Amino acid sequence: MTEALKRKVALVTGGSRGIGAAIALRLAREGAAVALTYSRSADKAEAVVRAIEEEGGRALAIEADSADAAAVIQAVAQTVRALGRVDILVNNAGIATLAPVDKVSLEDFDRMVAINIRAVFVAVREVVRHMGAGGRIITIGSVNADRVPGDSMSVYAMTKSALVGLTRGLARDLGPRGITVNLVQPGPVDTDMNPAEGPFAEQLKSLLAIGRYGRADEVAAMVAYLAGPEAGYVTGTSLTIDGGFAA
């Protein structure tokens, strides 16, 4: 444990696995109490909580499907009831349904928009009711907002591009209140959803300047910086961590 985020409270959506779990663990190691949401992986969410508690931290797992606005609202309320407030919001929950544009169903379109965009707006709207000066809002987007290297990604890329404008607007809205708002755009990262040895791995590695997938803990390190006191002058920006994917 370090002291950088001591006495801070963080809420991480989609924090049961992959990048979200790495972020929850890193923020806890920096001293924050952490609430994390999950939609299906209760066992994995509880494993993250146990890992934090075993290292002397404080954590809480909350079941909340980010596609359900009411569930997002309730997750924020539950965090405040249990931990007192929210100082750091990390909008990590996201999905990708990849298909050619003429094969994307309206149901898939609506669900991607609901989770990747609407849930971010709802979480921010609710959190800022409890967040004071020094607050941090960090959203996990994607390098696909800037570069789409293949087909079947149009709707996903659209949802991630929308976060760029939302981040800039929120930074203007919340800057006078001392709250910073930033977007982190990872490239290919080794997770369950996109494993470094998966079916698309070799194609993606060929586009990377470094030639390897990123690690979830590398993304978490960038988030921890943005959440900390040294990033107080960073707001309204999109920070890319992609191994040179967009270079």
Helical (H) or strand (E) element with 69? helix 69-83
Contact between 154 and 109 under an 8 Å Cβ cutoff? The reply is no
Residue 213 domain-assigned? no
pLDDT of residue 1: 61
pLDDT of residue 18: 97
Residue 207 domain-assigned? no
Contact between 212 and 167 under an 8 Å Cβ cutoff? The reply is no
Number of domains in the chain: 1
Average confidence score pLDDT of the chain: 97
Which neighbouring-strand residues pair with 63? 38
Catalytic-labelled residue, pool 38, 156, 225, 233: 156
Q: Which of 154, 212, 156, 164 is nearest to 185 (CA)?
A: 164
pLDDT of residue 217: 98
Active site residue 38: no
CATH number for the domain that contains residue 93:
3.40.50.720
Instruction: Give the structural domain span for 38.
Output: 9-143+151-185+219-240
Residue 190 domain-assigned? no
Task: Supply the pTM of this predicted model.
Answer: 0.97
Measured from the Cβ of residue 103, the count of other Cβ atoms closer than 10 Å reads 9
Sheet with 180-186: strands ordered across:
59-63, 33-38, 9-12, 88-91, 136-140, 180-186, 238-241
Q: Where does residue 137 rank: exposed (0-12), middle (13-18), buried (19+ CB within 10 A)? A: buried
pLDDT of residue 190: 96
Residue 1 domain-assigned? no
Residue 211 domain-assigned? no
How wide is the angle at C-alpha 93 spanned by C-alphas 228 and 179, nearest 5°?
Answer: 35
Give the chain's residues under pLDDT 70: 1
Residue 196 domain-assigned? no
Give the tens place of pLDDT for each residue, 42-64: 999 999 999 999 999 999 999 99
Cα–Cα distances in Å, from 110 out to 43, 143, 144, 189, 216? 28, 21, 19, 25, 27
Residue 19 domain-assigned? yes
State the amino acid at position 180 in one-letter form. T
Residue 168 domain-assigned? yes
